[in-house]
Amino acid sequence: MPKEIMNLSQVVENPNLVRTRELLKTVSEQTGIRGFIKGGYIRDFVYNNFHGTNNTPKDLDVSLANGVNLFVEKLVHNGGRIRLLRYRKKTPVFEVCLGDEQDSLIVDIGILIAEPQVYQRGQNMCVYELVRQDALHSDFTINSLYLPLTAPLDFKNIVDPLGGIEDVRGRVVKMASGYIFWSSPVCMLRAVRLIDTLGATLDKKTKEAIKHYAPFLNRSVPVVIQDNLEKIFTSPNKETNIILLKELGLYEHIPKEYRNVGDPSAH
The model's pTM is: 0.88
What is the domain partition of the chain in residue ranges?
1-170, 171-267
The arithmetic mean of pLDDT across residues 206-213, rounded, is: 98
Please give the residue that has the higher pLDDT: either 147 or 2.
147
Q: Which of 125-139, 165-179, 233-247 has the lowest mean pLDDT?
A: 125-139
pLDDT band at 4 (very low <50, low <70, confident <90, very high): very low
d(CA 236, CA 131): 36
Would you state the pLDDT for residue 7?
Answer: 40
- Return the CA Rg of the chain: 19
Residue 36 has pLDDT above 50, yes or no: yes
The arithmetic mean of pLDDT across residues 44-54, rounded, is: 94
pLDDT tens readout for residues 252-264 = 999 888 876 655 4
Domains 1-170 and 171-267 share a fold: no
| Residue 230 CB contacts under 8 Å (≥ 6 apart), including other chains | none
**What distances in angstroms separate CA 115 from CA 111, 125, 172, one per listed residue?**
12, 12, 28
Would you state the pLDDT for residue 9?
Answer: 44
The arithmetic mean of pLDDT across residues 221-237, rounded, is: 94
pLDDT tens readout for residues 17-28 = 888 999 999 999
Residue 266 has pLDDT above 70, yes or no: no
Residue 84 has pLDDT above 90, yes or no: no
Tell me the three state secondary structure of residue 106.
Answer: strand
Tell me what percent of the chain is helix, strand and coil, each rounded to the nearest 5. Answer: 50, 15, 30
Average pLDDT, the chain: 88
pLDDT tens readout for residues 157-202 = 999 999 999 999 999 999 999 999 999 999 999 999 999 999 999 9
| Residues recorded for the chain | 267
**Pick among 3.30.460.10, 1.10.760.10, 3.40.50.300, 3.20.20.70: CATH of 1-170:** 3.30.460.10
Residue 72 has pLDDT above 70, yes or no: yes
Would you state the pLDDT for residue 267?
Answer: 45
Q: What is the CATH number of domain 171-267?
A: 1.10.110.30
The arithmetic mean of pLDDT across residues 5-16, rounded, is: 55
